[in-house]
Chain A
Amino acid sequence: MSGNSIRDTFFEECEELLEALVEGLALMEESPDDTEVVNAVFRSVHSIKGGAGAFALTRLVNFAHTFETVMDKVRDRELSVDEKLIGLFHRSGDMLNDLVASARDETDLDESAETTLIKELEDYLGPEAVEEEFSFEAMTLDIGGPPPLGLDLPEDLADGERLFRITFRPRKSLYENGHEPLLIFDALAELGQLKSTVDLSDLPEFDAFDPSDSVLSWALELTTAEPETTLHEVFEFVEGLCDLEIAVDADAAPSVLAAPNALPPLQDPEPTAKKPEAAASSKAAEVGKPASSAAAQSKESRGPKPTLRVDLDRVDRLINTVGELIINQAMISQRIEELDLPTVAHLTNELEAYKLLARDIQEGVMAIRAQPVKPLFQRMSRIVREASDATGKKSKLVTVGDSTEVDKTVIERLADPLTHMVRNAVDHGLESPADRAAAGKDATGTIRLSASHRSGSVFIEIADDGAGLNRERILAKAVEKGLVAADAELSEPEIDNLLFLPGFSTAGQVSNLSGRGVGMDVVKNAVQALGGRVSISSTPGKGTTFTIVLPLTLAVMDGFVIAVADQTMVIPIASILETIRPSARDIHIIGTDSEVVSVRGSYVPIVDVAQSLGLADKPERAQTGILLLVSTETNGLTALRVSSIHDQRQVVIKSLESNYTAIPGVSAATILGDGKIALILDPEELIRLGHITGTDLMAQQSRMELRHG
């Protein structure tokens, strides 16, 4: 393992520790008295400090140290956790995050915020503790050498050789602590000439001999040029476990130490009085653990599960291969079908099993890429905090279902849109504390982030309990910006969806928070690029909820194999609400060219897929074809007309852009069972294209008001 990869491991570990820290702080807020929680938080900071020290990341070490010292006071119950302190811890966690990132990326980080935080942290510490911090840096190179014992060694002593007379009498505890006198003598012998005489006078009679007792002592004579401190270094670990006298013979200098307990004097006698007790109680607690009680079991299950770190490339190669396997399976199935063999029941069963196995493998492989959304959600707590600070609002983040697993790429690509939406939720969604109080609400607003799996999709909701969307203002703004006609009558959901139009911004004044040139249209595009969709629902006075629906995986999807103008294509099943085989009387022509179909009393515009794709000049008329009802964010309910539906199957998504080029209306391609390539359609884009090439249904906003009659 090279130095660099150890460094990488460190930063990876830091990320995990920082996540644990955020999580721990959230728990601490809920139950400030839970020692386990405080310990875990302390450990996160402590481990970062420990690792950072190894890479000489001084700033990180110093900050972590100050942070940790305050945390330690909480652990020792010298400080109690209140809102202010938790806030400081959160900000310190953020700072730690920034420091780690700046160390990792070797970028500069402004010191002012750090200095302020350190000062704030130090305010919680007494003046002595602050001094302690200064000595820390000096300590970083200490590998266990003894603290200077106040010896004032004249310079010239180091030159000449001197004779040290050492009396060394180990106590029983020396052996119990794993020491071996011979090794100590070896070390001394390395310093100069050693003569040792063993004192056997305490050796008992053979019958009374207890091998675990310490009965030997030694008189040692060491002639060396080394200073006395070096000798003490050799004895460092055993000081206190033996009676030790070191006397200098060659010089008039008197023996400085007659030290059975040669620990340096403690500054403050109080901790000694306290700590052994703590040691004893921790001993009782820890030793009790191995007992196979239920409590111990449950403790154990909290330990880390064994994991395996694998290069992401390997997983992706495997996913690709499994994709090929699924295609291959489809091909074999199709070939066998084409053979039209008589009674091949066995074969059919085996084939079915093969299909299921292939699917299992695929799901298993995708599960490797799946990660819980927790780290992503946790990062949002910082966004909420910062946004609250910047806007003077009070808010808290609640997360639900953060163990929900989502494809790694999805999580990565979701970070930006989610950040933006969370920021928006605080900035635009929540009211000021005063307004909230006036409305009879808790002054602290709640941002609720939740994730769940539902019917093969991932649902992520960002909800605030603010005032809800101001639809009047949104509509006025849209009209002002020329996004909709002044006389347009829009339904509430349609107004809400205006937010997703490019260039839309509701903020009367562009705040420095949300108004960073990123609109909801960017969010929507990012989500759509992941094959997902985003929708809004809002209740005046109660709040607004954004829902993002994402596919579970980016590699495989369930699709309808359809025919469009004699071509075979695939359309994602997830986007289709229902399929309709319309009768002629359900279809109506509006204006010159546009068609609508009546579905349970309301009219739904029809978009002809062949025409949208430019495969046909004129739409297939009237009763021919099948309509696929899809719901889109910008256009509401729309019916896509295709010639027929062949099949429903799982298809492997092959990027078109990376192999060919982007085609409007087409999101990707796949290989079918017969080995042919089929394009995968993008319904939303098709509808947009339909409006451009065919009739301009957007202009006919009145369609929703039509009543069947």
Chain B
Amino acid sequence: MTTKVLAIDDSRTIRNLLRVSLEGAGFEFHSAEDGQEGVEVFPDVDPDVVITDINMPRMDGFGVIESLRSGPNKTNVPILVLTTESSDDLKSRARESGATGWIVKPFDDASLVSVLKRLTGHVG
């Protein structure tokens, strides 16, 4: 079974990079352009893992995590935060919201895949 990834990022560039990395590694890739859209499409996509940016219009990454962890579609799927900052402050905030882990941009394919594997137990 292919692992489904839902990537939420307002940057087309980052979405593209993620798509190329993850589809290349055999993941099924879905994306949303901001937090609001991400939360909306979540039930339909029903991903095995979510990757979300922090800084986004309409709903930021913390909002995404919080609504996925406590909203009507409450879920326990791993949620990875993709961020340019790697401050401890941000990490603890992310964790407090319910994030499973984080990746610091710029990411490289191998690390991304290995982190995903660590969180989902699957490669692709």
Contact = CB atoms under 8 A, between A and B. Distances in A.
Interface of A: 1, 6, 9-10, 12-13, 39-40, 42-43, 46-47, 49-51, 53-56, 139-144, 147, 173, 175-180, 182-184, 186-187, 234, 236-237, 240-241, 263-264, 266, 271-272, 275-276, 279, 282-283, 285-287, 289-290, 299-300, 302-304
B103 interface: yes
B95 A241 contact: yes
Given A50-B106, A271-B89, 8 more contacts: A10-B13, A43-B56, A47-B10, A50-B84, A176-B76, A178-B78, A187-B118, A300-B58
A139 B91 CA distance: 15
A205 B12 CA distance: 52
B62 interface: yes
A279 to B, nearest CB: 5
A266 B57 contact: no
A686 to B, nearest CB: 49
B41 interface: no
B106 A176 contact: no
A184 B101 CA distance: 13
B46 interface: no
B105 A283 contact: no
Contacts of A139: 86, 104
Contact of A290 (B10, B39, B79): B39
Closest CB pairs A-B (n = 8): A286-B63, A143-B111, A237-B101, A178-B78, A51-B13, A178-B100, A53-B106, A10-B13
A692 to B, nearest CB: 55
Nearest to B104: A142
B7 interface: no
Nearest to A241: B95
11 contacts: A53-B106, A143-B107, A178-B75, A178-B79, A263-B92, A271-B89, A275-B89, A276-B96, A282-B60, A303-B36, A303-B57
B12, B13, B36 pick with most chain A CB within 10 angstroms: B13
B60 to A, nearest CB: 7
B12 to A, nearest CB: 5
A263 B120 CA distance: 24
Nearest to B107: A143
Contacts of A299: 58
Given A53-B106, A179-B100, A287-B71, A43 B78 contact: no
A182 B55 contact: no
Contacts of A13: 11-13
Nearest to A287: B67
Nearest to A283: B66
B27 interface: no
Contacts of B44: none
Interface of B: 10-14, 16-17, 19-20, 33-37, 39, 53, 55-60, 62-63, 66-67, 69-71, 75-79, 84, 86, 88-89, 91-93, 95-108, 111-112, 115, 118-121
B112 A143 contact: yes
Contacts of A287: 63, 66-67, 70-71
B111 A144 contact: yes
B69 to A, nearest CB: 6
Nearest to B77: A178
A46 B53 CA distance: 11
A10 B12 CA distance: 7
Contacts of B108: 141, 143
Contacts of B67: 286-287, 290
Contacts of B70: 287
B102 to A, nearest CB: 6
Contacts of B37: 303
Contacts of B104: 139, 142-144
A266 B93 CA distance: 13
A144 B115 contact: yes
A183 B119 contact: yes
B35 to A, nearest CB: 7
A180 B79 CA distance: 12
Contact of A1 (B20, B59, B77): B20
A173 B97 CA distance: 10
Contacts of A275: 89, 93
A51 B11 contact: yes
A240 B92 contact: yes
Contacts of A12: 12
A143 B57 contact: no
A6 B57 contact: no
A177 B100 contact: yes
B22 to A, nearest CB: 12
B96 A279 contact: yes
Contacts of A42: 55
A240 B95 contact: yes
A46 B84 CA distance: 8
A286 B62 contact: yes
A173 B94 CA distance: 13
Contact of A286 (B59, B86, B91): B59
B103 A178 contact: no
Nearest to A10: B13
A56 B105 CA distance: 11
A51 B9 CA distance: 11
Given A9-B12, A9-B13, A186-B121, A178 B76 contact: yes
Contacts of B12: 9, 12-13
A279 B84 contact: no
Nearest to A282: B62
Given A46-B84, A237-B100, A289-B58, A51 B66 contact: no
Nearest to A53: B106
A397 B55 CA distance: 30
A287 B60 CA distance: 11
A112 to B, nearest CB: 27
Given A49-B84, A139-B104, A287-B66, A43 B79 contact: no
